[in-house]
Amino acid sequence: MKLEGKVWKYGDNIDTDVIIPARYLVTTDPQTLAAHCMEDIDQAFASQVQPGDIIVGGRNFGCGSSREHAPISIKGAGVSCIIAESFARIFFRNAINIGLPILESPEAARDAQKGDTLTVDLVAGTITNQRTGKTYQASPYPPFVLGIINAGGLVPYTRRELGIDITG
């Protein structure tokens, strides 16, 4: 699966309180959450993000609270993929579980600049920066995690594993 989008670039330790502040945690609706995504750090993001855009972060992206509202708000904003130098553990799981692609590549993350266009091949795990023409290989997923991604998230994965009729 190939993705292409423009880069929104952020620094190290982007925490879930700035991705979606607690004052908005009284809903689980992706669109409502998306309207406030990143607002404490980048007020332009929610209004200007385009479907398919890519968030690029530094180290420890998504640290802090376990709120799944954080990746939900990013996915709800239409972001196709997050690339970072490293991810906080809970955020990484949450993104995989809700079917939001997430790739770890320190070089790709460091080289990308705001407004660059990236092409991402999720199957091969490659990231190409169209401005520089450079291609990067992201860290591979463990096979089990790949299973969840291929199923489209943890819920469909579990239904299949438990033999619950997916059409039912």
Residues of the shown chain interacting with another protein in the complex, contacts defined by CB under 8 A = 12-13, 15, 17-18, 21-23, 25-28, 40-41, 59-60, 63-69, 71-72, 86, 88-91, 93-94, 97-98, 142, 144, 153-155, 158-159, 162, 164, 168
Q: How far is the CB of 54 from another protein (least distance, A)?
A: 21
Instruction: Record the tokens describing residue 85, joined without a space.
Output: 């130098």
Spatial neighbors of 133 by CB under 8 A, at least 6 apart, are none
Instruction: Record the tokens describing residue 17, joined without a space.
Output: 């309180």
Is 52 within 8 Å of 5 (Cβ atoms)? yes
Name the residue nearer to another protein (CB basis): 35 or 119: 35
Name the residue nearer to another protein (CB basis): 80 or 86: 86
Name the residue nearer to another protein (CB basis): 133 or 166: 166
Q: How far is the CB of 145 from another protein (least distance, A)?
A: 8
Name the residue nearer to another protein (CB basis): 3 or 145: 145
Burial of 143 by CB count in 10 Å (0-12 exposed, 13-18 middle, 19+ buried)?
A: exposed
Q: How far is the CB of 87 from another protein (least distance, A)?
A: 9
Q: How far is the CB of 94 from another protein (least distance, A)?
A: 4
| String of DSSP letters for 59-117 | TTBTBS---THHHHHHHHTT--EEEES-B-HHHHHHHHHTT--EEE-HHHHHH--TT-E
